[in-house]
Structure 1
Amino acid sequence: MAGGGGRKVVELFFDVLSPYTWLGFEVLCRYRSIWNIDVKLRPGFLSGIIHATGSLSAMRFVTAIDMAHPEFVESVSRELWKRIWSTDEDITQPESLLSAAQKAGLPSEEAQKMLKMISSPEVKNRLRDSTEEALNYGAFGMPAIVAHVKGTPHLFFGCDRFELLAHLLGEKWLGPLPPVKAKSHM
């Protein structure tokens, strides 16, 4: 898509609900004359995009695992993230969910049981309740981190708030890859 006079056009699809989009909006507006581009602002609906690209089956699968085998929630979740964000693979089809569970070490027969559970009212209700709980804390996106300190919940949104979280907890932020503490050999 080219703009008038040979200028390049950059489209920004946005929803004012997204703080990350606001950052992109401001940067593009600042750079439009520096980069000699036409910025075409395209209002969109974030929830519609999320719904259309859906992680519902994956999150129901993880919820079922949490209900029956909570010790596998971390590893299965990590495998699903790797599939979608590292290897650009599907996370919506049953085979994809089973593959992630297998790589996480969940026995095949148990993964099959979890897959069957994703359409159960118990799993649907548990995922809905968890989502509503996040909304009740004030979440407007994810990641939503709620720290409970002295009986008071504190909401942090985004993956760039760990320094603030550390301060609230009275801890020191050591960056995204902190040194591993040596285990004592007693």
Structure 2
Amino acid sequence: MDLEHNNSYWGMNLKWPSNFQDIIQSKGTLLAQRFLVALDNKEPEFVQKVAEELWMKIWSRDEPIGKVENIKEVCKKLKIPDFDTIITEINSEKVKNQLKQNTDEAYNLGAFGIPWIVVQKQGKEPFYLFGSDRLHILCNELECEYQGPLKNLKKN
């Protein structure tokens, strides 16, 4: 029911993957995570779009992301330049180590889900927020108005 409530509130069309065990736990998302790290090293301006597309493949269209072919589909759709070269970096020690460092950093900060938001204001101790249901707190701390889900901006 939580997914349905979030769909209604945010104006989205998310659904539980038909075989969560297979898509997320067996095949996993490690390849996609490594690709995002490699992409961030070469073409950082595309990271957000690719991450969103990978997320939508799983949570909106019930499509896999665990194979190189799945990553290539996303790259072609989003017109990522020279993506084959970036894909070759997925299994490099540099990318593996960088993802491990990123994961260790999140773990050491106490991250336990997404979105995990670190709020660091100049001259103050950082604090951490978890979940989209905390966005109003983030806006309060940034001293900006929280405008809610902005469903009117939804892309179909």
Same fold per TM (> 0.5)? yes
Q: 2:133 & 2:116 partners in 1: Cα distance?
A: 11
Contact 1:79 1:103 in 2 (8 A): no
| Higher share in helix | 2
Q: 2:147 & 2:135 partners in 1: Cα distance?
A: 10
Q: 2:118 & 2:133 partners in 1: Cα distance?
A: 14
- Aligned amino acid, residue 163 of structure 1: H
How big is the shift at 1:67? 0.6
How big is the shift at 1:55? 0.6
How big is the shift at 1:179? 7.6
Aligned to 2:30: 56
| Higher share in strand | 1
Contact 1:64 1:123 in 2 (8 A): yes
Higher relative contact order, structure no. (Cα contacts within 8 Å, ≥ 6 residues apart): 2
Aligned: 1:156 with 2:156: no
How big is the shift at 1:141? 2.1
Residue by residue over 1:50-87, the C-alpha shift from the partner in whole angstroms, topping out at 9 and shown as x without a partner, is 65351100010111000111011011112111211111
Runs of 4+ in 1 over 4 A off after TM superposition: none
Aligned: 1:86 with 2:44: no
Contact 1:64 1:118 in 2 (8 A): yes
User: What is the CA RMSD across the aligned residues, in angstroms?
Assistant: 2.1
Aligned: 1:177 with 2:141: no
Contact 1:101 1:111 in 2 (8 A): yes
How big is the shift at 1:118? 0.6
Q: 2:92 & 2:148 partners in 1: Cα distance?
A: 41
Q: Tell me which structure has the larger Cα radius of gyration.
A: 1
Q: 1:91 & 1:134 partners in 2: Cα distance?
A: 22
Q: 2:102 aligns with which of 119, 122, 130?
A: 130
Q: 1:102 & 1:165 partners in 2: Cα distance?
A: 35
Aligned: 1:165 with 2:102: no
- Aligned amino acid, residue 59 of structure 2: W
Q: Which runs of 5+ in 2 are unaligned?
A: 3-22
Aligned to 2:114: 142
Q: 2:112 & 2:63 partners in 1: Cα distance?
A: 27
Contact 1:76 1:104 in 2 (8 A): yes
Q: TM-score w.r.t. structure 1 length?
A: 0.65
Q: Secondary structure at the match of 2:120?
A: strand
Q: Secondary structure at the match of 2:95?
A: helix
Classify 1:50/1:84 alpha carbon distance in 2 versus 1 (closer, same or farther; 3 Å).
closer
Q: 2:80 & 2:40 partners in 1: Cα distance?
A: 12
Q: Secondary structure at the match of 1:160?
A: helix
- Aligned amino acid, residue 78 of structure 1: E
